[in-house]
Amino acid sequence: MRVTLCDPLALIPGFEQARREQSALWPAAQPRWQPVHTVYVPADRFGTETVGRWGRAALELFTRHLPGPGPLAGLFGVPEETAADLHPRIAAKLAAEPVEDLRVDFEDGYGVRPAEEDGDTARAAAAVAALHAAGALPRRWGLRVKSFADGDPGRSLRTLDGFLTGVVERAGLLPEGFVVTFPKVLMEDYLRRFADCLGALEEGLGLAAGTLRFELQVEAAQTLWFLHPRLAASLGGRLAAAHFGVFDYTAGCGLPPHEQRLDHPACDHARHVMQTAFAGTGVELSDGSLAAFPASGGTRDVHALWAHHARLVRHSLRHGFYQGWDMHPSHLVSRYAAVYDFHLRHRAEYARRVRAWQARRGPEGAAGSTAESSVEGTAQGTAEGAVLDEPATVTTMSAALRRAELALEPPRPCGSRGTGAA
């Protein structure tokens, strides 16, 4: 082959450095396990019985109001064969691992209690250590501290310090899965200051560098202005996730109370900005919550709550947010029903399409011709017609299959693992 340029790489000096920077900013790793929800419990109501109590309450509601696959299929609009799979799967999850991610809340759900917060912090730490010793601590766990934006960062850090110190002293290590939620971030500088404080706590507790990570809560329109792809890297790998706060956000945007809902277009815009900022960075995304519970213990009211919550969960899932907040034990039923159905619904189709794509590429990895793709597309057609999958679509389907595998794995309570401490 004849070429015109003798040394094309000479025209792009610094390419290797740019390539390394690209890999650091956007590692493009395969999906890892991510909890499907975060359960927030006010600190004054948290104890060793919290996780078990939530599981028992959810399972009792599930058993009483969805006694078999038939009622489940009718309520959630899933095929009967899917419902036959979902019903025992949900029951097993609620019995063995009802809570995947637990956050002890010292912010909005707790309030301002200067005379009580130290005591509640110590009691929460003792409860976490006891749950760990009993093998009952959720796989992901932590606390939500008060916001720096409230003007009292000292109170926020004192609670974080007391909580972590109490857990490490009682458990002899920091159990695996810890994360701290940092709410109402109105200034980018707060993120850097908080990251520095985590580094100081690591050193003081004898933890390995990078052990302590945090979640940024996006609860104001101002926060969207400083979300950018380089933010995660600038925080030294400490930013684990970005969580959307629906009620503070919609209130800050001036929406009337009846429009402060998870599926409002204003919330969709905020979520899309979050996706744009953190795509490919490895930072997890989580949606907000439904601030409602059944109006009564009657089946009609319980079913109405479940149907409404499931619609919101599906809305999040369709927008690429695979995690959300649950604020009441009843939410666990509709959460798992919607999530499991979402991952099961397209799993077989995605697997067929990925296999067909791989077969078309052949042993040497060359993509098939357009004609070959068209024939295969007809054979692997969907309800909407034949498909001609692009490489990016195949990559997305492979990622979806991995997420389904992780989300649908058998329940496995976390217990004996830890990161260690001096």
Q: Based on the domain organization, do 300 and 365 belong to the same domain?
A: no
Helices 117-133 and 153-171 pack at an angle, to 10 degrees, of: 30
Would residue 422 count as lying in a domain? no
Would residue 289 count as lying in a domain? yes
- On whether the CB atoms of residues 411 and 97 are closer than 8 A, the answer is yes
Which of 345, 362, 381 is where one domain is finished? 345
- Scanning the structure block, which residue is given the tokens 């200034």? 187
Would residue 23 count as lying in a domain? no
164 three-state secondary structure: helix
pTM of this structure? 0.91
Residue-range definition of the domain harbouring residue 371: 349-407
Q: Based on the domain organization, do 315 and 373 belong to the same domain?
A: no
Q: Based on the domain organization, do 328 and 401 belong to the same domain?
A: no
Q: Based on the domain organization, do 322 and 369 belong to the same domain?
A: no
Would residue 323 count as lying in a domain? yes
Q: Based on the domain organization, do 375 and 317 belong to the same domain?
A: no
> Residue 310 is part of a domain; what is its CATH number?
3.20.20.360
- Closest Cα to residue 329, out of 46, 58, 66? 58
- Concatenate the DSSP letters of all residues of 269-324 into one string: HHHHHHHHHHTTS--EEE--------SSSSHHHHHHHHHHHHHHHHHHHHTT---E
Q: Could you give the number of structural domains in the chain?
A: 2
Q: Based on the domain organization, do 364 and 331 belong to the same domain?
A: no
Q: Based on the domain organization, do 394 and 325 belong to the same domain?
A: no
* pLDDT tens for the 422 residues of the chain, in order: 888 888 888 888 888 999 888 888 888 778 899 999 999 999 999 999 999 999 999 999 999 999 999 999 999 999 999 999 999 999 999 999 999 999 999 999 999 999 999 999 999 999 999 999 999 999 999 999 999 999 899 999 999 999 999 999 999 999 999 999 999 999 999 999 999 999 999 999 999 999 999 999 999 999 999 999 899 999 999 999 999 999 999 999 999 999 999 999 999 999 999 999 999 999 999 999 999 999 999 999 999 999 999 999 999 999 999 999 999 999 999 999 999 999 999 999 999 999 998 888 765 444 443 333 433 443 455 555 567 788 999 999 999 999 999 999 999 765 444 455 54
Q: How far is CA 218 from CA 99, 169, 246, in A?
A: 23, 32, 9
